[in-house]
Chains A and B, each alone.
Chain A
Amino acid sequence: MQELTAKQLRNKIAAGHVSGVDATTEIFNRIEKFEPAVGAYISTFKQKALEDAKAVDEKIAKGEALGQLAGVPVAVKDNMCTTFGATTCGSKILQNFHSPYNATAVRKLLDADAVIIGKTNMDEFAMGSSTETSGLRKTVNPWDTSRVPGGSSGGSAAAMAAKMCFAALGSDTGGSIRQPASFCSVVGLKPTYGRVSRFGLVAYGSSLDQIGPVTNNVEDAALMMNVISGYDKRDSTSVNETVAPVCDYLEKLNESIKPLKISIVPTFNAGADEQVQKALNEALKVYEGLGAELIEIEMPHIDYAIAAYYVIATAEASSNLARYDGVHYGHRTENPKDYIDVYSQSREEGFGKEVKRRIMLGTYALSSGYYDAYYLKALKVRNLIRQDFSRAFEQCDCVIMPVSPTTAFKIGEKISDPLQMYLSDIYTIAANLAGIPAVSIPCGFDNENLPIGLQILTPPFTEDKLLRIARMYESQKDWNIKKPPIVDSK
């Protein structure tokens, strides 16, 4: 059963060939087997998941209409609110926080009859690129357990890679879906800003955050996008469908884009490791073999993306995380001297190092006298990067670049050097700043058998095209068939 894609599983369940309960049971067997080594989940809901699966089976028995994810065991990153279990954001400060409401994306999964099996580990408040900043759990890369799974959606990517779910949701503020997807050899898509509702996604950088799928293959990503996309009146930044209609991403998925013009930024790509560049060039050759035309372009402002990102994201974060103060919910210090102490001690005890660092960075950037020099300037850079992309898209269908300059690094390798960690986001951040959709798909392995990802970026609200371009490559090179050793050996 584990060889099935989410879509195949759904169809088998719908056809009555597999029961929903069996699928969920199978997944929990695998979780029991691999989770102790991988550590992808912060919480799992076996009993509830089995009940939900049973409800799907009953629907089938009664011949009722079924959702697009009927009976499919899905994992959700632990920064999306659920009324069941805790919603921790990988932080001690929310370790025991139980949300009174479901995030819109979660509700849509449930409405599509998905079975939510657990909440996945992540960098604390999605701040990190390795899942090492989680205050609650350590997650390793199923391809090499001495290495990080990437982050911040490392739990979702690791769970997907170890087939401890059939699909997962992640969130991406600066690469948090795409980079772990590339480290774990799965597909990860960051939709256009505004395509998927952020309601119920615990905010990190509000103008950058976006929920997206982490799946085994492109088709499942399209399926997940069908379920979670769309306008939400509770999110003012979600885009009205009269402006940008949501389409059926599965409908034309296997139709190639012809002619296909691909832009590449050679000077920018040259910053990646040799093996990553090699895999990228081979992937481009695959596209050329399919008749694509390559255009070499410049993106004059992309070098400033990291600097702009770490100002904007941290500024927003410093404000977004102000609410975790021990007053209304979450961790509260035991014996405060006064109410100021409730704030400072609760936050001191509840937040980890990286979160504190980013809160301080952001607070500084927004401070009187520095606002213009940092925040305002970063916003200007952001606009220039947006323009770089719109100019590029005038003459091409997509831009292709690496996802990460390296393959998965060793646990502990970069955690003490924040700047090195930040630089690992160099290729992913621009899509968030520009608000455009981008996908990471597996494109090979380095000589240590570590996965490499290929990143494709397209104009706003062209996820359909993005998925089709990704599918073109996938149909030629099915790296998904390869399994991580941890799963293979047992």
Chain B
Amino acid sequence: MSDIEYKVIVGLEIHVQLCTQSKMFCGCALSFGEQANSRVCPVCLGMPGVLPVMNKQAVEYAVLAGLALNCKIAEFTKWDRKSYYYPDLPKNYQISQYDLPLASNGYIEIPIEDGQAKRIGIIRAHLEEDAGKNLHATGNFSQVDLNRTGTPLLEIVTEPDMNSAAEVRLLAVELQRMVRYLGVSEADMQKGHMRFEPNVNLVVTKDGREYKTPIVEIKNLNSFRALERSVDFEIQRQLDDFLETGRVMESGNKSTRGWDDERQITVLQREKEEAHDYRYFPDPDLVPVEIKGDWLKEIESKLCELPLKKQLRYVTEYGLSDYDAGVLTAERSTAEFFEQVVAEGGDPKRACNIITQDLMKAANEKGCSVAELGVSFKGVAELCKMVERGDVSATASTTIAEIMVTKGGDPEQIAREHNLTQTSDAGELEAVVDQVIAENPKAVEDVTSGGKKSKKARGFLLGQVMQKTKGQANPRIVSEILKRKLD
């Protein structure tokens, strides 16, 4: 046992639902949770005689995602029919892309430790229409809900470049953040907007020889947690299986396992990969798509700085911690709000504190994003400057931010109205300090004696000054004066 090592190999097949106004090939609105079969028309129902019409917005979203994934965008692409019979597929073929995917040969970077990034290869990304849902109620029949039928999906296939469950999760989170940034998907896993199917196997080194375990595809994953745990489970299961049976990868022994979230295990669904013949051929109802020239340029112009790049830049450019940079860049609008505050002269670290602590707390309570709080970036920049100048304390800044959220208004005015400004005028404060020293000889003695009580006494004197100034003294300056007078 001691001379066994193994390497984890994971590739992902990902389906991302694009948040277009209407379905891929008809005018029906996208839906989630509506009454079954209420968002359908003759086209997505596959009625006799209907014809699909391509949704241009879906193509633009897919190209945008392809560009963000550093893919080569196909100048000429087309639609193919993929044939298989299933009740949730009314035409019994899916309109997809076979040999000329819209995007190919790209990569996505995922953040690994210490602000480092790892590249995961993207083999291809193509557009297709989603199927409906079979509903298996009780009784000897099943029902079909076709609301989802025809929803535009971007299918992304990665290289098997991930080497741990943690990396799989990081990729999923990064991809979610990316597509949300681009505004091409809501990317809500619970709603099935993003579906991940990991292909997992191990390269086991035993007695100096390498063995590859059979590939397993995992399905039914509807959270990042399930994704990570299922891969971890599968790693252990495959290792155990290999040690017990010595089974290795052969042609045709790829299997499919479903994740059972309750039992936290994968369960065998399909033993052998079926020899599917999808009989792909170009869809004669649709014309090929040429993505080039002005159209491509127009799509390219919608590309923004991607979240990971932003995050790394915040660390190097603004000296923020990787954690804070991650929090700020989780949502595009928040990151943009932050950048506006900084551009307006707000100190990056101060701005980060106000946004990640005060504003995000309020946003979470309201169930909206920071940018939607109604607080202006100019106001926040001003607040940053006030704290930096010492006009208000950090504590007061939280109060001011709260009022800016609840009642609105200019931070300086709020500070004045609520007596939240602090005095940093050394001359003015010196007089108060002198008075306090005169009134509290015992405490002064404790400080000067330098014993155990010194620190406490110093705090007491500071407190007295704050009390006399009704909390408006700048504590940093008071401390300095005290230090000068007593040490």
Q: How far is it, in angstroms, between the C-alpha of A201 and the C-alpha of B285 when the chains are bound?
A: 12
Q: Is the CB of B284 within 8 A of A80?
A: no
Closest CB of chain A to B79's CB: distance in Å?
Answer: 10
With a cutoff of 8 Å between Cβ atoms, the chain B residues found around residue A325 in the complex are: 85, 92
Q: Is the CB of A199 within 8 A of B87?
A: no
Q: How far is it, in angstroms, between the C-alpha of A131 and the C-alpha of B42 when the chains are bound?
A: 28
Q: Is the CB of A236 within 8 A of B51?
A: yes
A322/B93 contact (C-beta < 8 A), A366-B279, A367-B279 known: yes
A323/B46 contact (C-beta < 8 A), A236-B52, A236-B54 known: yes
A81/B91 contact (C-beta < 8 A), A237-B284, A316-B284 known: no
Q: How far is it, in angstroms, between the C-alpha of A343 and the C-alpha of B47 when the chains are bound?
A: 16
A328/B46 contact (C-beta < 8 A), A206-B285, A236-B285 known: yes
| Residue of A100, A233, A327 touching B87 (CB-CB under 8 A) | A327
With a cutoff of 8 Å between Cβ atoms, the chain A residues found around residue B48 in the complex are: 81, 87, 89, 94, 97, 99, 202-203, 323-324
Chain A, residue nearest B53 (CB): A236
Closest CB of chain A to B170's CB: distance in Å?
Answer: 37
Q: A235 at interface (Cβ–Cβ under 8 A)?
A: yes
Closest CB of chain B to A195's CB: distance in Å?
Answer: 15
A-B contact count (CB 8 A): 96
Q: How far is it, in angstroms, between the C-alpha of A63 and the C-alpha of B50 when the chains are bound?
A: 37
With a cutoff of 8 Å between Cβ atoms, the chain A residues found around residue B45 in the complex are: 328
Q: How far is it, in angstroms, between the C-alpha of A234 and the C-alpha of B142 when the chains are bound?
A: 32
CB-CB contacts below 8 Å: B39-66 with A: 42, 45-54
Q: How far is it, in angstroms, between the C-alpha of A233 and the C-alpha of B52 when the chains are bound?
A: 10
CB-CB contacts below 8 Å: B73-116 with A: 81, 83, 85, 87, 90-93
Q: A351 at interface (Cβ–Cβ under 8 A)?
A: no
With a cutoff of 8 Å between Cβ atoms, the chain B residues found around residue A45 in the complex are: none
CB-CB contacts below 8 Å: A312-328 with B: 315-316, 318-319, 322-325, 327-328
Q: Is the CB of B53 within 8 A of A234?
A: yes
With a cutoff of 8 Å between Cβ atoms, the chain A residues found around residue B54 in the complex are: 236
Q: B3 at interface (Cβ–Cβ under 8 A)?
A: no
Q: How far is it, in angstroms, between the C-alpha of A205 and the C-alpha of B42 when the chains are bound?
A: 20
Q: A95 at interface (Cβ–Cβ under 8 A)?
A: no
Q: Is the CB of B277 within 8 A of A368?
A: yes
CB-CB contacts below 8 Å: B235-280 with A: 277, 279-280
Q: A371 at interface (Cβ–Cβ under 8 A)?
A: yes
Q: A329 at interface (Cβ–Cβ under 8 A)?
A: yes
Q: Is the CB of A363 within 8 A of B51?
A: no
| Residue of A201, A206, A233 touching B284 (CB-CB under 8 A) | A206
Closest CB of chain B to A60's CB: distance in Å?
Answer: 33
Q: Is the CB of B279 within 8 A of A329?
A: no
Q: Is the CB of A233 within 8 A of B53?
A: yes
With a cutoff of 8 Å between Cβ atoms, the chain B residues found around residue A367 in the complex are: 277, 279
Q: How far is it, in angstroms, between the C-alpha of A237 and the C-alpha of B285 when the chains are bound?
A: 6
Q: B320 at interface (Cβ–Cβ under 8 A)?
A: no
Q: Is the CB of A339 within 8 A of B87?
A: yes
A343/B281 contact (C-beta < 8 A), A81-B49, A103-B49, A233-B53 known: no
Given A363-B279, A366-B281, 13 extra CB contacts under 8 A: A99-B47, A99-B48, A100-B42, A101-B42, A199-B50, A205-B284, A234-B53, A316-B284, A322-B93, A325-B85, A328-B144, A343-B85, A371-B281
